[in-house]
Amino acid sequence: MLIDIVKMRVLLSCLLVLVFRPMVIVADDNKPPNVGNGDTIVLTAQEIRAMQALKIADVLNHVPGVKAGDASVSIHGSYKVKVFVDGRPINDPTSSHGGIRWDMVSPDEVERIEILRGKGGMAYGQDAAGGVVLITTRRERRWSGNVKCYAGNFETFHARGTANAAVGPVAGGVSWGYETTGGYDVNNDKEIRRVGLKLDHAREESGRRMGFSADLVRDERGLNGLPQRPTPFARKESRNTALALHAQLSRIKTQTTYNEGSTHNTDTSTGLDRTLRVSKLGQDLSTVLQTTKWGDLSCGASFSWDRADGNSFEDQQEQGLSVYAAQNLALPGGGATLTFGVRANYHSDFDSTLNPEIKVVYRKPSWRLTGSYSRTENIPSFHQRYNETSSTRPNPDLSMERADNFSLAFFATPHPDFSFSLTGFYNLLSDRITYVTGDDGIGQYQNFGSVLYAGGDAAVNAKLTDSLKLKAAYTYLQAKDRDTGLWIPAKARHTAHATLFWQPCAPLSVVITGTYSSKVYRNKANTRHVPAYAIAEVRAEYGFQRWSVFVEITNLLDKTYYYADGLLAPPLTWVAGVNWRF
């Protein structure tokens, strides 16, 4: 199968070179097609460093409409979000909803993050109904790196390091990480090991580049279960491998990715012993062509081959093929741009689809207005269809869910020290896949019918004084079953986030954050719910030369609260550590 993929890659590359040879390309190595304008949210390296976040999930939680956890991210209520690091996906192929391996990247390595809310499926394919997160790491051209270590209560210890070097056109880096904790509840411990490698060869004058990256993660942990249904003997061991080979030759960008994940769930109290292994091989080709003096054309093709096996079901294999094209035009009169395109998808086990995407942007020097529409599909994961644990039954009969996303976004900077944004969204999902818990406490993924996600975001960013800055966001989400009028489980109606950045003197910086989430329902009938909560956290860092020391305290008031899925959240936790840059 791998030989066939390589042959296809060579054939498609040759065809694209022949077809587009007479045309002129407008290329940007750091920005994928149709990304970076309109309602796309961009976080720069300076903003990321100011947050002092220990994990990428903490960075994303500052973005309106985005909610990230230890292994997840949702945008406007949808967990179907694709996450890429330097073009390679870091979604866990064995997870139920596209879970993320945040262990594969650290905020210290990141140069830029772009968040495409409710769109991106045209360029990045299916399973992106919520949107796409694009993370770009630094490309060092010198010897550099850092080592960060911290420890805290509940037997928490974390260590991570990177080292980068360059010789002429060749640059490379290695990274590693280790994390362990005894946990704040019975059977809540975990131990994570990670190692990564990155190589890059670039000839800027000729526009040629080739790179390779590899990440390996091993995760062992206990699964404590819901408070009313504890599972003190449930254990999970998982391994993830992410490989990527990318190249740019003249007008063509090509990338081959291979993701493999395996999980082993056991519970000695019930005799559970289940394994799941998923392999995903992908091939992507893309280019951007200047078709007229008013705009450019983005186009590409992709192929995927997925395989799953386990000890409780027969081996499964699936293939997918997609092509897309999108035209960008600067409308007469200046200030307005129009982007429209379509993506055609074929899948061996689900319906073939044709998905349009359209976006209009109107710009003025101090404000911008964006309207967009997109359609995409989410394929039920192998985990949702075949995996079995002590609290979940498989459902191999799941069907594909579809999403139509509408949004209107307004962004303004009336003063250099003040900016704000307003966003409205209206997302319709059919055959939505959701986890439904039965009366016996055991759940199953089911197609939910017709679901509406509608609401809006408001965000402000203000410089109050030279040493004090404020960033705040509020999201209203109406998540309802359109057939019954009932609220969708695990979706908060109101969420708010506010952060103060204080730098009383040059070496010292302090970040204070407050978060509020309204109550969420736990079941389809809306008869059980998780109460609302408000928590606070503080981070402080003192730097000198190449060293810095830091401390972080979360759940500052030591409140008892629960996550949206009903799991007990941690009490007051603290860590303190040191970071050395070289």
User: Where residue 307 sits, what CATH number does that domain have?
Assistant: 2.40.170.20
Please report the sign of the dihedral spanned by the C-alpha atoms of residue 84, residue 72, residue 342, residue 134: negative
Query: Which phi and psi angles does 6 have, rounded to 5°?
Result: -60, -45
513: tokens are 């954050």
Find, among 260, 317, 291, 326, the residue nearest to 124 by Cα.
Answer: 326
Q: Outline where DSSP puts E strands in 401-491.
A: 401-415, 418-430, 433-437, 443-447, 450-465, 468-481
Write the DSSP assignment of 8-45 as a string of letters.
HHHHHHHHHHHHHTTSEE---TTS-TT-SSTT-EEEEH
Q: Are 532 and 516 within 8 A, CB to CB?
A: yes
pLDDT by position in tens, the chain (length 582): 444 443 334 333 433 333 333 333 233 333 333 333 446 899 999 999 999 999 999 999 999 999 999 889 999 988 899 999 988 899 999 988 778 999 999 999 999 999 999 888 888 988 998 999 999 998 776 789 999 999 999 999 999 999 999 888 899 999 999 999 999 999 999 999 999 999 999 887 777 889 999 999 999 999 998 898 899 999 999 999 999 999 998 788 999 999 999 999 999 999 999 999 999 999 999 999 877 777 889 999 999 999 999 998 999 999 999 999 999 998 887 789 999 999 999 999 999 999 999 999 999 999 999 999 999 999 999 999 998 877 788 999 999 999 999 999 999 999 999 999 999 999 999 998 888 777 777 888 888 889 999 999 999 999 999 999 999 999 999 999 998 999 998 899 999 999 999 999 989 999 999 999 999 998 888 999 999 999 999 999 999 889 999 999 999 999 999 998 889 999 999 999 999 999
The total number of structural domains that make up the chain: 1
How far apart CA 78 and CA 74 sit, in angstroms, is 5
Which residues, 6 or more positions from 413, have their beta carbon under 8 angstroms from its beta carbon? 366, 367, 419
249: tokens are 């030759």
- Token pair 């409409």 is at which residue? 65
Domain that holds residue 327: 2-581
Write the DSSP assignment of 244-309 as a string of letters.
EEEEEETTEEEEEEEEEEEEEEEETTTTEEEEEEEEEEEEEEEEEEEEETTEEEEEEEEEEEEEEE
DSSP character at residue 79: -
How far apart CA 110 and CA 114 sit, in angstroms, is 11
Which residues, 6 or more positions from 338, have their beta carbon under 8 angstroms from its beta carbon? 328, 329, 331, 358, 359, 360
Q: Are 575 and 155 within 8 A, CB to CB?
A: no
| pTM of the complete model | 0.88
- Token pair 């109460």 is at which residue? 531
Give the H/E segment covering residue 6.
Answer: helix 2-20
Name residue 323's beta-bridge partners: 301, 344
Q: Are 171 and 139 within 8 A, CB to CB?
A: yes
